[in-house]
Amino acid sequence: MSAQNSTIYVINPNSSTVVTAGIDAAMEPLRPCGLRIECVTLEGTPKGIQTQRDVDSIDGPLLNRAAQLEDSACGFVVACFSDPGMFALREQSRHPVLGIAECGMLTAMSLGQRIGVISILSTSIPRHMRLFGAMGIMDRIAADRAIGMGVADLADDARAVALMSETGRMLRDEDGADVLVMGCAGMARFRAAVEQAVGIPVVEPTQAAVGMMIGRVSLGWAGKTDAKAAR
Amino acid sequence: MSAQNSTIYVINPNSSTVVTAGIDAAMEPLRPCGLRIECVTLEGTPKGIQTQRDVDSIDGPLLNRAAQLEDSACGFVVACFSDPGMFALREQSRHPVLGIAECGMLTAMSLGQRIGVISILSTSIPRHMRLFGAMGIMDRIAADRAIGMGVADLADDARAVALMSETGRMLRDEDGADVLVMGCAGMARFRAAVEQAVGIPVVEPTQAAVGMMIGRVSLGWAGKTDAKAAR
Amino acid sequence: MSAQNSTIYVINPNSSTVVTAGIDAAMEPLRPCGLRIECVTLEGTPKGIQTQRDVDSIDGPLLNRAAQLEDSACGFVVACFSDPGMFALREQSRHPVLGIAECGMLTAMSLGQRIGVISILSTSIPRHMRLFGAMGIMDRIAADRAIGMGVADLADDARAVALMSETGRMLRDEDGADVLVMGCAGMARFRAAVEQAVGIPVVEPTQAAVGMMIGRVSLGWAGKTDAKAAR
Amino acid sequence: MSAQNSTIYVINPNSSTVVTAGIDAAMEPLRPCGLRIECVTLEGTPKGIQTQRDVDSIDGPLLNRAAQLEDSACGFVVACFSDPGMFALREQSRHPVLGIAECGMLTAMSLGQRIGVISILSTSIPRHMRLFGAMGIMDRIAADRAIGMGVADLADDARAVALMSETGRMLRDEDGADVLVMGCAGMARFRAAVEQAVGIPVVEPTQAAVGMMIGRVSLGWAGKTDAKAAR
Amino acid sequence: MSAQNSTIYVINPNSSTVVTAGIDAAMEPLRPCGLRIECVTLEGTPKGIQTQRDVDSIDGPLLNRAAQLEDSACGFVVACFSDPGMFALREQSRHPVLGIAECGMLTAMSLGQRIGVISILSTSIPRHMRLFGAMGIMDRIAADRAIGMGVADLADDARAVALMSETGRMLRDEDGADVLVMGCAGMARFRAAVEQAVGIPVVEPTQAAVGMMIGRVSLGWAGKTDAKAAR
Amino acid sequence: MSAQNSTIYVINPNSSTVVTAGIDAAMEPLRPCGLRIECVTLEGTPKGIQTQRDVDSIDGPLLNRAAQLEDSACGFVVACFSDPGMFALREQSRHPVLGIAECGMLTAMSLGQRIGVISILSTSIPRHMRLFGAMGIMDRIAADRAIGMGVADLADDARAVALMSETGRMLRDEDGADVLVMGCAGMARFRAAVEQAVGIPVVEPTQAAVGMMIGRVSLGWAGKTDAKAAR
């Protein structure tokens, strides 16, 4: 790939720089790979993406920002667990585009058999279930349980870890999960603590997506699915 | 329901008044039900909704227009086979909200066992498959086949009917479909001709959705799924 | 449709006029639609349909009664949550035929993502599961739980509402349901109370079926699936 | 098991003694097992079971005849590929009850991965698909294809074998089937010829069911599923 | 079948003669069938098959031993709930080959609608889930719960029955199971006690497999699926 | 990770150095990642893995070789499309372990909606289907079609590319695939030619697996699924 195309842009669709900072810190272990990993915050979007309206409002800002970054990019990661705008960005960009919900689940499928998802609010769950159904992986879902904290509430680390750990144990013991996925980019910094507390693998979805992107960029396989399928 | 809430608004998300006129004509058999059925064309949206970007671009205009219509509405039907903005509008409106893809498929499920879908372009099919997967009805899908005509091309009635009939026969004979769904609101006026040609039930999805909406309005069941599920 | 074909017949397959009266009351909100909705009680059938034998015994009486009503009918609704005789009646009648289990579930699919079913007896559940499997919607089922009351026991309103509400909360909180379906026509009069108690949409299946029938009649789509598929 | 309970009754629900004779001949290889295998023809039922009405009409005569045979029976096999009355008979009898559709498919699941079904008429297919869905085995179905011959037409052996072989090859080559099931008890005598012609295992469902019944009787596991599950 | 091919070999892949003795005792009710049923213990294999490595280590010893027995065999049953080597043995032998996991589940599918599995260790469950997924029967699984006892621990009968009964009741009441399968050949002797305690049918998988094998041998249908499908 | 743990070992389970060389060449684009990627050929295993016996025979040699490499490894990739020994190696190694079938399919799930698989022999297909079922992704499979060439035959490049391209076009046009996966490690060098010929993304599974491994190693998530789930 050409010199000017050497950056993986991880776009945080919400406008919370705190969340972006958490994502950026989570990228550290992946930075030795030789590709620049830059985390970007969209502007004019909600502080947290919690409703379907929030999800649907991301598309325009995301496509516009990605268009500006296209020439310096080698790949894009959409860092919201509802994968807003992912398929539209795949149509627009000539680079690989990955979403954290899709990659978080695909990664979990290689770490365990029954996936438990830890969500922020119960209102997120029907949306997640539609996404898992669209992925055709419902048979791999143990359950999706919410901790009942909004994105902003996650600032309370102690409470977040406690609730996520308790929810993780329920997913493990009552629902039979043997791997967990954190269902919000804002949970990134809690991965180690929750895995420690629950004792089964915990997937941080932005790390999962960028982890998959590194190889994808090297292989040069772009995700222009729909367009390519057209004839 | 109060006097001022007596209109079912059928919103055509694309900006083609020709398509809206076709939908409006298809509403005739449903008008004796006693509720006003008014077909609305969004402005500033694509002439045809053919890409994921097109789909995702509908949300804002749809929500804004629906907000203006909220007080005079008793229900909203989103008349595009990708159900753009349907879930967000369910959050916004206090009235029932139905999408034509969802209702077209649900209606077909009561008319046959194996559903064949006739799409405009092959690029629509992966998007439809994600939607059918999100609905959890993949076991009911015989196949989804495209006629290779864009929304604009449908103006050529003879060619459209010929290709839709040929595709319908393939869905029936090669894929085992015993009911068909037309996968685009722009196909509304061809229903009778295609059913005649193929000999199995053919669902026109906007008729299916408004047909379901009439009872829904009477029952006063609103679709505020996600919101209601929150706690 | 001709003058003499203007009645939707809602046939209660069991011989309990109390159940029929409850169904009839539930039809009130749908009567402004302009079609006559007449509730009919079969004779010589069980007081409650609780076993597979009960279900299978309905077919003959149902087809005979429907044949007598054919000329004055514009549609038939089979008002038992096992949809006894529905497919056979679709073969016999030239009018649309809908069952309340099928329509209750299809309607719930447009009101929520994960469906919880409230059944009378645990013996009903395997039969329901077979029906949901035949519909191909198992991925949408949160759970089906029984209240342990027979059809006759439902006469105890207070107890029925209490048990249905408790069961509904379990379906919501333990099984992740965001919409409920009442799994017996005899529960019709409890819909509002249970929805109030549980706080998520509750589908009364006979209302759901007749609500879908109104539009179906107007569209003139008959359910002669199997016959039409023959060649 | 007591002396008087030593007969497996294979009940042919249709009233065609020709079909019963074909079934009886197919039982020969299973007779050395030490249990009497007696094939019974119901009276007053259709000559061939081809419509849903036919299927639903079997229940009463089947239960009555089985009740007369209960004391001398050690097990019942319902020999029609729609398994009419199977679940009701499981409620009535204290003996194991198996159906040929269920057992034909379960047996095929241990002989191949992708099952192709050869049906008589295309009208049978939606009914079969509902049954396979109720069994939860849709992922194992390659396809179900009809030869377009009614039960009576099967008297033309040469034509039947030719059409079944041609259909079997289509199921193998176009649909990827690696095992076939004959979807009608009336096809029993063609098993060897079709297997020879197609070159993959062919399951004759009545043989499959009685083959499973022999062990079931010895184990004394009765199929009173629904009743047992009640509490 | 020729005189020298008259023995069903039930091969216990682990090297525990105690387990083999338990299996042998469980064969008694099936012995009147007229075929010799001989239980064989593999040598040099683990005492209990509890890890994936254990499962994968069985193939060579199993195929070698089965080759020695081929001439005197009429069928082979692999008596470990992970069905180790079953598909490879189907390639090697000209006789029917059945596995106890596959047959235990297929048998349960004719005894109930929702299957609960009682496993020894939670580490077995992901492996079982992969197997059930490969069988395409996930929609029939209520849950798979472990009692937390290794194969050796099962020597403590009282504790085993108590834990299996408690787990069975959880599968019945919390997960909605209406039939149970014992997920280890070493549990054979506890079937009656657990069925008595839980009150729903309990399938002992080796009995289920040999019960199916008796008919299979008589019919002469071999399971050379993959080989036969080749062309 | 420590200095001595810096090599991703790609183990070709068959003993064909030609296949290993093809895999090694396919690794070139992934080598700039900074981790050593070393391709290893097992000894004493079949030249091509084509039967279930071949698959099952890999486990011992694979585990032994991997044990020798454990200290210098940072991850293992099993380079056979049946993922032989993958789960056992996950139990043995403290490093991440990925299989090419699993990763090839997971990668395809992020490149298209309907996956077509190109296999060598039709005998591979039932085995693949069991694997896809175990992964719970059957709803994403368009079809799996064989080119009818053994591993050795692939030496005929022109014929292999021609048959793979023809098969890919059938998967695209008849089965609706919008992404393809090459179902054999021996096909590695044909990826570009087939993608060029068919015009939809083509996944080379060893590249897909190593591409995913690079990030996995950096994140230090090991795949000890079963072990971790134990308690």
Reduced to 3 states, what is the DSSP secondary structure of residue C119? strand
Q: What is the pLDDT of residue B153?
A: 92
Return the percent helix, strand and coil in chain D, to nearest 5.
55, 15, 30
Residue C4: is its pLDDT beyond 70? Answer: no
Q: Looking at residues F79-94, what average pLDDT do you find?
A: 97
Dihedral angle sign, alpha carbons of residues B173, B175, B176, B177: negative
- What CA–CA distance (Å, rounded) separates A32 from F142? 38
- Residue A228 pLDDT exceeds 70: no
Q: Mean pLDDT over residues E83-111, rounded? A: 97
Minimum distance, in Å, between the CA of residue E137 and any CA atom of chain D: 6
Q: Does F225 touch chain B (CB under 8 A)?
A: no
Measured over the CA atoms of residue A132, residue A133, residue A135 and residue A139, the dihedral's sign is positive
Please indicate whether, in this complex, the C-beta atoms of D219 and E225 are within 8 angstroms of each other: no
Q: Is the pLDDT of residue E175 over 60?
A: yes
Subunit contact E225:F56, Cβ cutoff 8 A: no
Q: What integer best gives the mean pLDDT of chain A?
A: 93
Longest dimension (CA), chain D: 54
Q: What's the mean pLDDT in B141-150? A: 96
Does the structural domain A102-204 have CATH classification 3.90.1150.10? no
Residue E151 has pLDDT above 90, yes or no: no
C127 and chain D: CB distance < 8 Å anywhere?
yes
Structure confidence at residue E224 as a pLDDT band (50, 70, 90): low
Residue-wise over A67-76: b if at least 16 C-beta within 10 A, else e? eebeeebbbb
The DSSP symbol for C29 reads G
Query: What pLDDT band is residue C231 in, cutting at 50, 70 and 90?
Result: very low
Could you report the per-residue pLDDT of A84-98, keeping only the tens digit for each? 999 999 999 999 999
Q: Does B131 touch chain C (CB under 8 A)?
A: no
Over residues B47-79, the pLDDT tens digits come to 999 999 999 999 999 999 999 999 999 999 999
CA distance C99 to C76: 8
Q: Using an 8 Å CB-CB cutoff, list chain E residues near C145.
A: 176
Nearest-CA residue of chain E relative to F59?
E56
- What sections of chain C are H helices per DSSP? 17-26, 52-56, 59-69, 86-92, 100-108, 124-135, 157-173, 191-198, 205-219, 225-229
pLDDT score of C230 more than 90: no
Distance CA D179, CA D108 (A): 6
Q: Alpha helix (H) ranges present in chain E? A: 17-26, 52-57, 59-69, 86-92, 100-108, 124-135, 157-173, 191-198, 205-219, 225-229
In the predicted structure, residue F227 carries a pLDDT above the cut 60: no
Greatest pairwise CA separation for chain F in angstroms: 54
Q: What is the pLDDT of residues B10-24, one digit of tens each?
A: 999 999 999 999 999
- pLDDT at residue number D33: 84
The predicted-structure confidence for C123-164, as pLDDT tens digits, reads as follows 999 999 999 999 999 999 999 999 999 888 999 999 999 999
Residue A125 with chain C: CB contacts under 8 Å = 113-114, 176, 178
- Select from D56, D148, D230 the Cβ nearest to the Cβ of C59: D56
Q: Quick check: A230 pLDDT over 70?
A: no
**DSSP reduced 3-state for E145:** strand
Nearest-CA distance E107 → chain C (Å): 16
Higher pLDDT pick, A215 / A33: A215
The model's pTM: 0.96
CATH number of A3-99+207-230: 3.40.50.12500
pLDDT at position E223: 62
pLDDT mean across residues, chain C: 93
**Confidence category of residue E222, pLDDT binned at 50, 70, 90:** confident
Tokens of F17: 């150095």
Tell whether the model's pLDDT for residue C73 goes beyond 80: yes
* Confidence label for A223 from pLDDT (cuts 50, 70 and 90): low
Same fold, F3-99+207-230 and F102-204: yes
Q: Is C148 on the interface with B (CB under 8 A)?
A: no
pLDDT tens for each residue of F100-134: 999 999 999 999 999 999 999 999 999 999 999 99
Q: What is the pLDDT of residue B223?
A: 62
What pLDDT does D230 receive? 38
Q: What is the mean pLDDT of residues E167-194?
A: 97
- CB-based contact A25:A18 (threshold 8 Å): no
CA gap A76, B181 in Å, rounded = 36
DSSP per residue, D152-171: GGGG-HHHHHHHHHHHHHHH
Q: What is the pLDDT of residue A33?
A: 84
For residue A83, what are the contacts with CB-CB under 8 A and spacing of at least 6?
A99, A100, A101, A102, A131
Q: How far apart are CA F187 and CA A50, in angstroms?
A: 45
Which segments of chain D have a pLDDT < 70?
1-4, 223-231
- What the block records as the tokens of B106 is 């649900």
D52 chain-C contacts, CB cut-off 8 A: 87-88, 90-91, 226
F161-198 confidence digits (pLDDT tens): 999 999 999 999 999 999 999 999 999 999 999 999 99
Domain extent listing, chain D? 3-99+207-230, 102-204
Give A113-159 pLDDT, tens digit per residue. 999 999 999 999 999 999 999 999 999 999 999 999 988 899 999 99
Give the bridge partners for B143, in sequence order: B116
F:153-172 residues touching chain B, CB 8 A cutoff: none
Cα–Cα dist A94/A2, whole Å: 13
pLDDT tier for residue B5 given thresholds of 50, 70 and 90: confident
Q: Residue E177 pLDDT more than 60?
A: yes
Interface test with E, best of F49, F52, F80 (most E CBs within 10 A): F52
- Rounded Cα distance between B228 and A68, Å, is 39
Residue C226's pLDDT is what?
44
pLDDT at residue B227 greater than cutoff 60: no
Average pLDDT, chain F: 93
pLDDT of C120 above 90? yes
Residue with tokens 């749908």: C30
Contacts of F203 (CB under 8 A, 6+ apart): A221, F104, F107, F108, F111, F179, F180, F181, F182, F191
Q: Which member of C53, C90, C126 has the closest CB to residue D88?
A: C53
3-class secondary-structure state, position D202:
strand
